[in-house]
Amino acid sequence: MALRVERDLESGVALLTLDRPEKHNAIDLATAAELSAAWRALRYDDEMRAAVVTGAGGRAFCTGVDRGVAVPQPSSPYTIDDPLLAIGPKANDLWKPVIAAVEGMACGGAFYLLGEAEFVVASDEATFFDPHTTYGMVSAYEAVFMAQRMPYGEVARMALMGTAERVSARRAYETGLVSELTPPGGAVAAALRAAEVIASYPTDAVQGTVRAVWSAGEAARAQALAHAPHLIALGNLAPALQAELFGGRGGGGGYRLR
C-alpha cells in the first residue's frame, strides 16, 4: 500500500499519508486508485469529520505522476486518460474539509491535491514549482487549480518558468497558496490542530460551508478544465521526446529560489 490512512476517533480527523518517500511520493496508478478509494470511503465514515493529507519522508509532499509508469492512452485524439484527475477529495464528491500539510517539494501533479484542499499548511523549507514546460508538456490542469489560489501573474510565472525557479514557502504564503507557515517538520501537527477544531463543529454546517466556498469558483474552473485535454493534445511533445528531456535533467541544484 502506498497510502497510509490513520483514523483518530477522539478528534474525528483522518490523516492520509502518501507513503512512497523513495519516489518523492510520486503517484503511480495504484496510488491514484488508493487515494480515490480513500476519499470515497470517507464519505461514508461518519466518525471522520475532517482530514489532513501529507507526504512521508519530509523531502517531498508529492512530485506528481510517477514518470516511470506507463499510462495507456486511447487512440482517439479527443480523449486523454489522466490518472490524477480522480485523486482529489472534490473529484470523489467528498465535502468534508481537507487540509494539506506540505514538507519539502510540491510540484506538478501535487497541485491536483493542493487545489482540492480547503487550505495549505507548509513548513518554512517547503518549495513549490511546476516542471511541465521544461519537459515539453502543457501545464493545464495544474495551472487551472492554482489560478483559484494565487494571482494570475504568480500562476503564470510558476507554470512558465518550469524547473528554473522554485517558489519558497514564504513567497507561497505571501501570494495566498499557503495559509500558515511552520518550522521544519511542523506542518502536519499544525494541520491536525486546525482540522481538530473544524471537526469539533457541527458537521452539516461545516460541509455546507466547504461546498459554498468551492462553488464560488466552480463555474470558471469547470469551463477552464474543459479546455485542458485539447490544450494538452495540441501542445505536448511526443512521449519519447518528453522522456529524452526528462532523462537529461540535472541533479536538482540548477534553480533559483524566490
In a domain, 192, yes or no: no
Asked whether residue 201 is assigned to any structural domain, the reply reads: no
CB atoms within 10 A of CB 81: 10
pLDDT digits (tens, 9 = 90+) for 241-254: 888 888 877 655 68
Report which secondary-structure segment, H or E, holds 143.
Answer: helix 141-147
| Per-position DSSP letters for 56-120, written without gaps between them | SSSSEEE-SB-TTS-----S-TT----TTTTSSTGGGT--S-EEEEE-SEEETTHHHHHHTSSEE
In a domain, 193, yes or no: no
Q: Taking a C-beta distance cutoff of 8 angstroms, is the pair 186, 85 a contact? A: no
Q: Is there a contact between 69 and 28 (Cβ–Cβ < 8 Å)?
A: yes
d(Cα 156, Cα 253) in Å, to the nearest integer? 22
* Structural domain boundaries, residue 140: 3-183+222-257
CA 39 to chain centre: 14
Q: What is the side-by-side strand order in the sheet with 105-107?
A: 60-62, 105-107, 127-129, 165-168, 256-257
Among the ranges given (54-58, 141-145, 151-155, 224-228), the one the predictor scored with the smallest mean pLDDT:
224-228
Cell triple for 138: 502543457
Residue 222 has a pLDDT of 83
**Distance from C-alpha of 122 to C-alpha of 179, rounded to nearest angstrom:** 8
| Residue 109, in any domain of the structure | yes
Give the dihedral sign, CA 28/31/37/43: negative
Residue 77 lies in a domain: yes
Phi, psi dihedrals of residue 202, rounded to the nearest 5°: -55, 125
* Predicted structure pTM score: 0.91
Is 160 in a helix, a strand, or coil?
Answer: helix
Does some domain include residue 204?
A: no
58 within a domain of the structure (yes/no): yes
Answer whether residue 209 shows pLDDT above 70.
yes
pLDDT digits (tens, 9 = 90+) for 51-101: 999 999 999 999 999 977 777 777 776 677 788 999 999 999 999 999 999
Exposed, middle or buried, 233 (CB in 10 Å: 0-12/13-18/19+)?
middle
Q: How many domains does the chain have?
A: 1
Average pLDDT on 226-249 reads: 81
Domain containing 11 — which CATH number? 3.90.226.10
